[in-house]
Amino acid sequence: MRRITAWLLGTVSGVVLLVSYHTSTMGSALPPAPTTAAGEVSPPATAATAPLAGAARSAIAAPAPATPATPATPATSAVPSGDAVVNGAAVSTRWGIVQVQIHVQNGQIVDVVPLAVPDSNGHDFRVNSYAVPVLHDEVLAAQSANIDTVSGATVTSNGYIRSLQSALDAAHLSRS
Amino acid sequence: MTPASAVRPRPVAPATRPWWRDAAGSAAVGSIVVVAALWLAHRGLQDLTSAAPGSRLTSLGRLTGLVAADLLLVQVLLMARIPWVERSYGQDTLARRHRLVGFASFVLMVAHVGLITAGYAAADRSGPAAEAWDFVAHYPGMLLALAGTALLVMVVVTSVRAARRRLRYESWHLLHLYAYLGVGLALPHQVWTGTEFVSSPLARAYWWTLYAAALASVVAFRIGLPVALNLRHRIRVRKVVREGPGVVSVHLSGHALERLPVRAGQYFVFRFLDGPGWSRGNPYSLSAAPRRDGLRITVKDLGDGSARLARLKPGTRVLIEGPYGRLTGEARRGRGVTLVASGIGITPLRALLEEFDEPPGTVTLIYRGSTPDEFIFRDELDRLAAARGVRVFYAPGRRARSRRSWLPEEAARLSDVEALRRLVPGIAAQDVFVCGPQPWMDAVRTAAAGAGVPAERIHLERFDW
């Protein structure tokens, strides 16, 4: 084929392959988070809950108050005919606030949306990008907060589960 | 002689407003201020002085990334052939600045990559290689950014002078076009991981708008405008005339030429649809004032495709891009004009001569050539001399050897300035238009300045950008 055609074909193929990789269309790994979080600059972590720990985070996030935010009361927005969208409590973790929102239809959890996850530095992107989808799928499968934490993201997972539990409680869906 | 009605009554091109240049420059500088402000607003300065490991490096990395990205957009806009920008600066100045801004943004981009990688590696207490791999594999848009960086590196490497000399022009140009793709591929990672953009919808909106505006400019002015121009005017070759050894004039015809916004002294980039290799455009000045019934260009065989023009068949379709050029009567500020030409540089000045309607004796043409055979348009110049009192001086001879001079060897006993003063005693009050090889033009400019012509009345245009 002619050289210019080969160039065009090569370029288009390259771009298609690049865009197919999952990070090329993921958007920012998190939704626009309400900055209620305290992005604490932590001392070198002692509890080895995650391989990620052990690094002091650089304070890239917006300036935060020193005291952790108190968990907000869960809010419920009423949606007609047994459907509900319920916000869980904003749980304060070592790396920041975690808050989830559940979407309920006919008594079933159909979606879990992260409203706030730690985003104080790029580290958190990595955690969120693999942990949040895993947690989401586990919740939908278990239809409860009785799920395993994701290894390598224990702190975020725990915050996620606690926020989820408070949302389930508010939606009267918790099965103890 | 062509009937008077065939000559256009007055220039069609709208005037260049002086504030355009200030506006364009201010917009470019302003965009850099905006990104610096974004950096400051997101704790850039605090992080620069923070003790947290990697914080300083990352903060500096963010700043260099922001400015590099902004300069890349300025790059795109510099070459978008926006008419107001082109008329304010001229294609030659824009090309020079494009080169400068390009290398500056490249250096900043490389710094950005290094600083961010080192900063994150320090924060995570891992090595830079592991960190780099981490970026590319997991962070939003980073694989695209890596590809974009690779493309931009390739573009810069092939644009260094040493590399350009080795590449065919078409190959170099094709590779250079990948810069557009490189700039576009870098955008997602900026808005998806850039601290300044992730947390601020306003900043994101601004950034997307900037990219959209750059893209729109390229589409509108590099593609849309020339397409419209060619559809409206449908230029064709009318005839090809030999003017002298290695020099041909191509007479062009078209439609609605009275609405073509071109002035004497300007040039177009021409593409003659005469077979393979047509896609390479060459800039040629009009060698006669634009007429309602046609245009003329005059080209010397310099080996870059110009020899093909001698073999053009009448009726060949011609694609034009432009008009470009600031060497027009619009630039005039003085009383009287001196035109200094060397070799094929006579072309835009010959066109300008037709436009100037000055009292006899106030327009002077000094025409340099290596040998007397080289002078073209002699009969036309003689006619102008007779009809309008234009003073024409032919200055044949090889370059003066003893020093860098605009004079031929035969006149080298005079200083550059002295020779100019003798030819045109009142030159200090006049406008001086110069066209020829760059080093020779510099010598003329120095001489004119020495003879008392202020810088804003010396008009040159480079063609070797």
- As a whole number of angstroms, the distance between CA B54 and CA A17 comes to 33
3-state SS assignment for residue B283: strand
On chain A, the residues whose CB falls within 8 A of the CB of B143 are 18, 21, 23-24
pLDDT tens digits along B154-187: 999 999 988 888 888 888 989 999 999 999 999 9
DSSP output for B201-263: HHHHHHHHHHHHHHHHHIIIIIIIHHHHHHHHH--EEEEEEEEETTEEEEEEE-SSGGGS---
Residues pairing with B267 in the sheet: B285, B324
Best mutation target, B46, B55, B60, B136, to test chain A (most A CBs within 10 A):
B55
DSSP output for B286-301: BSS--BTTBEEEEEE-
For residue B119, give the nearest of B50, B68, B177 by alpha carbon.
Answer: B50
- As a whole number of angstroms, the distance between CA B451 and CA B418 comes to 8
Interchain CB contact of A123 with B (< 8 Å): yes
Closest residue in chain A to residue B138, using alpha carbons only:
A126
Interface of B with A (CB under 8 A): 42-43, 46-47, 50, 52-55, 58, 119-120, 123-125, 134-135, 137-144, 147, 174, 178, 181, 185, 188, 191-193, 195, 198-199, 201
For residue B438, give the nearest of B459, B412, B464 by alpha carbon.
Answer: B464
Interchain CB contact of A33 with B (< 8 Å): yes
Q: How many CB pairs under 8 A join A and B?
A: 101
ipTM over 0.85: no
The rounded mean pLDDT for chain B is: 90
Q: Which two tokens stand for residue B39?
A: 């950096």
Q: Do B181 and A123 touch (CB under 8 A)?
A: no
3-state SS assignment for residue B463: coil
**Is CATH 3.10.50.30 what the domain over B234-324 is classified as, yes or no?**
no
On chain B, the residues whose CB falls within 8 A of the CB of A11 are 178, 181
Q: Which two tokens stand for residue A63?
A: 């300036």
pLDDT tens digits along A98-138: 888 888 888 888 888 888 888 766 667 767 777 888 888 88
Q: Which two tokens stand for residue A89?
A: 């409590």
Alpha-carbon distance A82 to nearest alpha carbon in chain B (angstroms): 34
pLDDT at B13: 65
pLDDT surpassing 90 at residue A55: no
CATH placement of domain A66-170: 3.90.1010.20
For residue B404, give the nearest of B344, B369, B455, B444 by alpha carbon.
Answer: B444
pLDDT surpassing 60 at residue A63: no
State the residue for tokens 């090569």: A10
Q: Which two tokens stand for residue B24?
A: 């364009």
Average pLDDT over residues B434-458: 93
The answer to whether B226 and B319 have CB atoms below 8 angstroms apart is yes
The type of residue at B145 is: A
pTM over 0.80: no
Ranges A42-46, A169-173, B307-311, B454-458: which has the least confidence = A42-46
- As a whole number of angstroms, the distance between CA B77 and CA B356 comes to 34
Q: Report residue B339: phi and psi, to 5°.
A: -110, 125
Higher-confidence residue of A52 and A22: namely A22
Distant-in-sequence, close-in-space partners of B435: CB < 8 Å, separation ≥ 6 = B285, B327, B340, B341, B342, B345, B346, B347, B348, B349, B441, B460, B461
CATH placement of domain B329-460: 3.40.50.80
Return the CATH class of domain B19-222. mainly alpha
The answer to whether B47 and A41 have CB atoms below 8 angstroms apart is no
pLDDT at B278: 86
- As a whole number of angstroms, the distance between CA B347 and CA B83 comes to 23
pLDDT tens digits along B75-130: 999 999 999 899 888 888 898 899 999 999 999 999 999 999 999 888 878 888 98
pLDDT surpassing 70 at residue A67: no
* Element housing B318 (H / E): strand B318-324
The answer to whether B293 and B233 have CB atoms below 8 angstroms apart is no
- As a whole number of angstroms, the distance between CA A56 and CA A60 comes to 12
For residue B145, give the nearest of B50, B65, B33 by alpha carbon.
Answer: B65
Q: Which two tokens stand for residue B438?
A: 């760059």
Give the highest mean pLDDT range of A31-35, B17-21, B343-347. B343-347
Average pLDDT over residues B408-429: 90
- As a whole number of angstroms, the distance between CA B298 and CA B302 comes to 12
The rounded Cα B107 to chain-centroid distance in angstroms is 23
